[in-house]
Amino acid sequence: MLYLALIFFMAALATGLLGFGGLASAVAGLAQIAFFVCLLTSLILFAMKIANDR
Q: Residue 47 CB: number of other CB atoms within 10 A?
A: 10
- The pTM (predicted TM-score) of the whole model is 0.76
Domain extent, residue 38, equals 2-53
Distance of alpha carbon 10 from alpha carbon 50, whole angstroms: 34
What local confidence, expressed as pLDDT, does residue 28 receive? 92
Integer-rounded Cα Rg, in Å, for the chain is 15
What local confidence, expressed as pLDDT, does residue 29 receive? 92
pLDDT digits (tens, 9 = 90+) for 4-46: 888 988 999 999 999 998 999 999 999 999 999 999 999 999 9
Distance of alpha carbon 24 from alpha carbon 38, whole angstroms: 21
Q: Residue 38 CB: number of other CB atoms within 10 A?
A: 15
Instruction: Count how many domains the chain has.
Output: 1
Q: Cite the DSSP H helix spans in the chain.
A: 2-17, 21-53
